[in-house]
Chains A and B, each alone.
Chain A
Amino acid sequence: ETGVTQSPTHLIKTRGQQVTLRCSSQSGHNTVSWYQQALGQGPQFIFQYYREEENGRGNFPPRFSGLQFPNYSSELNVNALELDDSALYLCASSLNPAGNNEQFFGPGTRLTVL
């Protein structure tokens, strides 16, 4: 059984560009949540995907969008990057949204926007 994996590990972009981050959920998990963690802060919920549909969204603008694929892997897309988007982006998978709620986090993608 493999854990949650994310790619790439690090990424440097310039303001205005677009970025796609990828996440493979833990085996058997059909729910993926994305979080933004700024330096020295707690993770902030971006959105959750359950069976390829968005299943809840935090207070993030529409330029943050996502996808979940039939194998339950997921992508986070951010358009028109801003300096404040620099953060660690975490993906977490769970068995289902309203089960035991236990989330397993990946190691994250460190995004730097210059």
Chain B
Amino acid sequence: QQQVKQSPQSLIVQKGGISIINCAYENTAFDYFPWYQQFPGKGPALLIAIRPDVSEKKEGRFTISFNKSAKQFSLHIMDSQPGDSATYFCAASKSGQNFVFGPGTRLSVLP
């Protein structure tokens, strides 16, 4: 019940395209859903996050869509750029504790 599933494992997108990564969770007590971006040799950096009382949140080219009834959330990267090539992790937590991360999606944006 603590698991967060993430798909796809890897994703190749052309420059200017839309990248979509999906996550699903089981624990309905989770109340915070962040997405992290990680470059090789670096720690994860927070991209965008959402709480379950909101169905969508947009920050620049990044959008989270949240479906509480389906227990799913997704990250959309619009106008994908080669600089977006990185590994993306979804995560979930309850009251800021015990963050559970998905296994990650390796995104490659072709120039």
A47 nearest CB neighbor, chain B only: B98
B102 & A101 in contact (Cβ 8 Å cutoff): no
Q: How far is the CB of B25 from chain A (nearest CB, A)?
A: 13
Report the Cα distance A4→B44, complex, angstroms: 12
A42 & B89 in contact (Cβ 8 Å cutoff): yes
Interface range on chain A (Cβ under 8 Å from partner): 20 to 34
A56 & B97 in contact (Cβ 8 Å cutoff): yes
A107 & B97 in contact (Cβ 8 Å cutoff): no
Within 8 A of B (CB), among A1-52: 4, 31, 33, 35, 40-45, 48
State the interface size on chain B (CB cutoff 8 A): 24
B98 & A56 in contact (Cβ 8 Å cutoff): yes
B97 & A55 in contact (Cβ 8 Å cutoff): yes
Q: Given A55-B97, A101-B49, do A107 and B43 touch, yes or no (CB 8 Å)?
A: yes
Report the Cα distance A44→B91, complex, angstroms: 10
Give the one of A90, A96, A101 with max B CB within 10 A: A101
Q: How far is the CB of B53 from chain A (nearest CB, A)?
A: 14
Within 8 A of A (CB), among B65-111: 89, 91, 93, 95-104
Q: Which residues of A contact B91 (CB under 8 A)?
A: 42
Within 8 A of A (CB), among B1-59: 6, 32, 34, 36, 41-46, 49
Interface residues of chain B, those whose CB is within 8 Å of chain A, are 6, 32, 34, 36, 41-46, 49, 89, 91, 93, 95-104
